[in-house]
Amino acid sequence: LRFFRDELDPRIGIGLGVIDVKVNTVESPEEVAHRIEAATKFVGPGRITWVHPDCGFWMNKRSIADRKIAALVKGRDLFLGST
């Protein structure tokens, strides 16, 4: 993240991978919100434009992928409600 904070043109938005697709454990919305908050504190407010998984869900069962995406949305909403 240091590069994005120090080197990247501040007009360019950052996409942040907040869901780990390599594990079947579904993150809580609070975990997702905390990850967004921690990254925002590091790179600065307004820099993170998108949140998404850290990669694709091709190796996850559909039911797990669906729950992870739901946690991502709820975590984003939780973060936005606290900012």
* Span 33-61, pLDDT tens digits: 999 999 999 999 999 999 999 999 999 99
pLDDT of 21: 94
Please list, in sequence order, all residues whose beta carbon lies within 8 angstroms of the beta carbon of residue 58, skipping any fewer than 6 positions away: none
**Structural domain total, the chain:** 1
Q: What is the mean pLDDT of residues 1-17?
A: 89
- Cα–Cα nearest to 18, from 3, 30, 10: 30
Q: For residue 1, what pLDDT is reported?
A: 74
Average pLDDT over residues 74-82: 93
Q: Indicate the residue type of 74.
A: K
8 Å CB contact between 52 and 15: yes
Report the predicted TM-score, pTM, of the whole model to 2 decimal places: 0.89
pLDDT of residue 19: 97
